[in-house]
Amino acid sequence: METIQSILSSDTFPWLSAILLGLLTAINPCQLAMNLMAIGYIAKETPKHAFKYSLVYALGRICVYTILGITLIYILHQGATILPIQNFLGNYGELLLSPVLIVVGSVILIHGLGHDHSLTEGDNCHHHTKPKAKGIYGAFLLGVLFALAFCPETAIFYFGMLIPLSFESTIGYTLPLIYAVITALPVLFFAGIIAYGTDKSTKYINKIQKIQKWLTAIVGALFIIMGIWLLIENIL
């Protein structure tokens, strides 16, 4: 444990510190729960393109962490402080995300229970010719929203450790990108498992589509539950 702490606080190998901070963020229970929920939502839309959509979701997260980090480093170099931003997102990030999750979950739930997603074999081939633009944009936006929902621990990792380290390092502007890519590894791992299972057999995809109505409803319910849980956790 002392070795890890010394690496995190060392400016000798800042890229290694960024990697460790990214790993700590990636395995954070709060982040894992959000990522699993997001992948479940992405996978139910079009199983055949689950991995591609998950890449877009991961890209949304990477863009937020990278752009925000570069911006904050620049601000610090101008002599400003990021403590107010850290405190605000650390204290209210989850609270602001909760109503978004509830609204999105309600829309997904209503859509899932109100529409028949079953397709004929011919329709299935046509439907999966390429990913829907809406799905791609939705996956990216989901990545952006979830990245901005800093849990208290991840806010400390990012604002309290990564950004100050980046400010002091000669390669500081690259560290947020390294951190962001590492935090996306669980997303790619779980998406790869889903892609392997769904692309392995067209028959399996068709079975998924037959129960997609209920999968959609379940995912919508999970979004609502997560939103309510975050709301209660931050109010009580």
Token look-up 């790869």 returns 192
Instruction: Give the tens place of pLDDT for each residue, 64-94.
Output: 999 999 999 988 888 766 667 667 766 777 7
What integer pLDDT is reported at residue 176 of this predicted model? 95
Number of domains, the chain: 1
Residue 4: inside a domain: no
Query: What is the extent of the structural domain holding 52?
Result: 13-235
Residue 92: inside a domain: yes
Residue 50: inside a domain: yes
What's the pLDDT band for 62 if we cut at 50, 70, 90?
Answer: very high
What is the C-alpha to C-alpha distance for residues 55 and 187, in angstroms, rounded to an integer?
A: 8
**Of the ranges 61-70, 106-115, 163-172, 186-195, the best mean pLDDT one:** 61-70
Sequence-separated (6 or more) residues with CB below 8 Å from residue 9: 17
What integer pLDDT is reported at residue 186 of this predicted model? 84
Residue 7: inside a domain: no
Q: Is the pTM of this model over 0.75?
A: no
Residue 1: inside a domain: no
Residue 5: inside a domain: no
